[in-house]
């Protein structure tokens, strides 16, 4: 059982499920298309809401499996690195969704499976994929996103701008080398590019002459969300508005966005996001 992350956890699931139904409606009109649903961090299938009565909610994986109208997906591929969660999800599917014989659950790293999915889509031109990437921190490498370029895939991705990127960017620009390496791999940028994007040099006049001070830019987390959106545009033709997730202190934690090569998909995504929250 996974832990509940706030009201936006439910909103996030509702967004993906609503989009999946609209996506399948479009694909149902194209008889030659086979559909693939890919979940890179599928979890155990259920979520503990953390309320007093510990209500258990169905996770996104199970909600997607329950879609029958206008049609179900032809294939489901659930990736979960944690063995216990993988086993729980697999057992739940076998017990409660026995008709889903094309639902596969694997214990693997999402980055590796995203690359294998890209290879599959290149070889199987009749497949179209809807992917949901809801990572634990900054665990999705940019090169895993890049490998999806030019493919028939719509990608919903949760970007840890506040709890990830924002926490690694120190105020004075003196970032630990390990943190810089992580940012470099996550954002697909060189260290110099990262520093120039999030920091500015300021000339400070003192009694002893002029000196240069390095300061972090304002609205760093918002800039991180916009940066990731622009990076996605180098791989996909279109990127949706962001559903911005905040904690109880009104601080941004994540930006949730969808990338696609289909203009119809972009409109659907924005229409779904708009009533909830966007930045």
Residue 86 lies in a domain: yes
Domain limits for position 46: 2-169+218-273
In a domain, 78, yes or no: yes
Closest CA to 243 of 50, 4, 19: 19
Could you give the CA distance from residue 244 to residue 278 in angstroms, rounded to a whole number? 6
Q: Is residue 196 part of a domain?
A: no
Cβ-based neighbours of 140, under 8 Å, separated by 6 or more: 40, 110, 111, 114, 133, 157, 186
Domain count for the chain: 1
Provide the β-strand partners of residue 259. Answer: 155, 239
Taking a C-beta distance cutoff of 8 angstroms, is the pair 236, 261 a contact? Answer: yes
User: What pLDDT shows up at residue 173?
Assistant: 84
Domain membership flag for residue 61: yes
**What is d(CA 83, CA 196) in angstroms, rounded to the nearest whole number?**
40
Residue 182 lies inside a defined structural domain of this protein: no
SS (H, E, C) the chain: CEECCCHHHHHHHHHHHHHHHHHHHHHCCCCCCEEEEEECCCCCCEEECCCCCCCEEECHHHHHHCCCCCCCCCEEEEECCCHHHHHHHHHHHHHHCCCCCCEEEECCCHHHHHHHHHHHHHHCCCEEEEEEECCCCCCCCHHHHHCCCCCCEEEEEEECHHHHHHHHCCCCCCCCHHHHHHHHHHHCCCHHHHHHHHEEEEEEEECCEEEEEEEECCCHHHHHHHHHHHHHCCCCCEECCCEEEECCCCCEEEEEEEEECCHHHHHHHHHHHCCCCCC
The CATH number linked to 252 is: 3.40.50.150
For residue 201, being part of any structural domain is answered with no
CB 227 within 8 A of CB 187: yes
Tell me the longest C-alpha to C-alpha distance in the chain. Answer: 78
Cα 14 from Cα 60, distance rounded (Å): 8
The size of the chain, in residues, is: 279
- pTM exceeding 0.95: no
Residue 279 resides in a domain: no
Cα separation, 24 vs 20, whole angstroms: 6
Residue 212 lies in a domain: no
Per-residue pLDDT tens listing for the chain (279 residues): 444 445 778 999 999 999 999 999 999 999 999 999 999 999 999 987 554 444 578 999 999 999 999 999 999 999 999 999 999 999 999 999 999 999 999 999 999 999 999 999 999 999 999 999 999 899 999 999 999 999 999 999 999 999 999 999 998 888 999 999 999 999 999 999 999 999 887 656 665 655 666 778 889 999 999 999 999 999 999 999 999 999 989 999 999 999 999 999 999 999 999 876 544
């Amino acid at each position: 059982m996974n832990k509940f992350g706030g009201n936006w956890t439910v909103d996030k699931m509702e967004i993906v499920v609503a989009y999946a139904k609209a996506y399948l409606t479009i694909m149902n009109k194209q008889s030659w298309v086979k559909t693939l649903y890919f979940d890179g961090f599928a979890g155990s299938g259920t979520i503990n809401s953390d309320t007093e009565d510990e209500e258990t909610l169905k996770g996104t994986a199970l909600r997607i499996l329950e879609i029958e109208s206008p049609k179900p997906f032809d294939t489901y591929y659930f990736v979960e690195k944690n063995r216990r969660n993988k086993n729980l999800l697999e057992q739940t599917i076998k017990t409660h969704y026995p008709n889903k014989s094309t639902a596969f659950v694997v214990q693997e790293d999402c980055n590796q499976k995203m690359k294998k999915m890209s290879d599959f889509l290149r070889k199987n031109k009749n497949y179209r994929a809807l992917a949901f990437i809801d990572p634990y921190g900054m665990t999705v490498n940019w090169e895993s996103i890049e490998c999806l370029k030019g493919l028939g895939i719509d990608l919903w991705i949760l970007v840890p701008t506040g709890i990830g990127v924002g926490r690694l960017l120190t105020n004075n620009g003196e970032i630990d080398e390990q943190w810089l390496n992580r940012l470099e791999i996550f954002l697909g940028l060189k260290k110099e590019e990262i520093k120039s994007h999030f920091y500015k040099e300021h000339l400070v006049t003192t009694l002893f002459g002029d000196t240069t001070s390095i300061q972090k830019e304002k609205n760093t987390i918002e800039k991180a969300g916009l940066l990731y959106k622009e990076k996605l545009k180098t791989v996909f033709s279109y990127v949706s508005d962001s559903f911005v997730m905040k904690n109880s202190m009104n601080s941004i934690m994540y930006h949730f966005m969808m990338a696609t090569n289909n203009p119809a998909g972009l409109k659907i995504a924005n229409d779904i996001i708009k009533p909830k929250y966007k930045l």
